[in-house]
Amino acid sequence: MSEPARQRKPDLSKGLDRAQKFGTILMPHEAEEPILAAGVRLAIYEWLTEIRSRGELEAVGLTPRSTALLYGPPGTGKTTLAHHLAARLGLPLVAVQSERLVGMHLGETGRNIAELFDGLADAEHGCVVLLDEIDGIGSTRSSDPQACAREMNMALTTLLTRVEAFRGMCIAATNRKESLDPALWRRFGMQISVDLPGGEERFAILKRYAVPFDFCDEDLDLITDITQGASPALLRQLMEGLKRALVLHPRLGLKIDDVAIVFRAITSAVAPHPDLPQPPLWKSFETHARKLREIPWPPARQPQKKGAA
């Protein structure tokens, strides 16, 4: 006779396997800590403390919150943050691309949501679930607007019920908070704004992605000023573009001795998201090229650490 269900060990791998149909499993060791504004860092730190203080909270009639909604412009680190949070708890992140839950046929989206959460039932305490770009659920695919609205409502009802019933940790992320259903918004225990970085965070992000090239603080201050309004993702692209150019341009026979030309090549190839403000470096390149020429160029490269590949 088979073992009674309650004695069976939770089958984590099976749950995660099934979740792969709708997303990706991100392991803790692959996580990277995003550079965030102090307010967001504090909210995350408090949440982690809350999760780790279950006993003390239960003694005063509270349970740790298990759901949070991260909202903010694209490329500000919402997915990175969810991954980092899961890693801090030593758990894999099931990063569900919500769009993949959307089906073409009537009732299919709701069934997919149910399939996802059923699949995770055994793994709910062994992973963190991220419903990424959650606004994608209910996007219009049908040509009949009425059928589409009905389908969206059905899917939403299923989603609300499933998130409510889920006993593990569930994070949702969206770039489009204004399009979120109010009931869905309220379903999460916290709503955390992950906004475009301020000067201090831009400086830290530029510094992180400049490694192993030596930019002194003054140079980074200058780049921080002319990238006001840039998302962390764009700042990363900018710095990685610089590093790529510094390594590859000489190989391609291209000169790297003019800082403005190198920056120009990058700003021509990577642009801010159309919904986001144009940072000064993109808006009026020529004005800022003069300032860029104050940077000692090309930057020196830190010596490679022993044993590093």
Ligand X SMILES: Nc1ncnc2c1ncn2[C@@H]1O[C@H](COP(=O)(O)OP(=O)(O)O)[C@@H](O)[C@H]1O
Residue 32 contact among ligand X, Mg ion, none, beta carbon within 5 to 8 Å by kind: ligand X
Q: Which is nearer to Mg ion, 26 or 262 (CB)?
A: 26
Q: Which is nearer to ligand X, 75 or 126 (CB)?
A: 75
* Residue 32 or 218 with smaller CB distance to ligand X: 32
233 binding partner (options ligand X, Mg ion, none; Cβ < 5 to 8 Å by kind): ligand X
What region, left, alpha or beta, does residue 61 occupy, with left being phi > 0 and alpha being psi -120 to 50 degrees? left
Q: Tell how many helices (H) and how many strands (E) occur in the chain.
A: 13, 6
By CB under 6 A, the count of residues binding ligand X is 16
Residue 112 interface partner, choices Mg ion, ligand X, none, CB cut-off 5-8 Å depending on type: none
Pick 38 or 183: Cβ nearer ligand X: 38
Shortest distance (Å) from residue 31 CB to ligand X: 10
DSSP 108: H
Report if residue 76 touches ligand X, rule: CB under 6 A: yes
CA angle 123, 129, 130 (to 5 degrees): 165
User: Distances from the Cα of 289 to the Cαs of 68, 226, 283, 285, in angstroms?
Assistant: 42, 10, 12, 6
132 phi, psi to nearest 5 deg: -80, 145
Strands of the 128-132 sheet, one edge to the other = 23-26, 93-97, 128-132, 169-174, 67-71, 190-193
Residue from 23, 136, 232, 241 touching ligand X (CB under 6 A): that is 232
User: Which string of x and - marks every residue 196-215 that binds ligand X (by CB under 6 A)?
Assistant: ---------x----------
Count residues near Mg ion (CB under 5 A). Answer: 2
158 binds Mg ion (CB under 5 A): no
Which residues of the shown chain bind ligand X in the complex (CB under 6 A)?
32, 34-36, 74-80, 173, 205, 232-233, 236
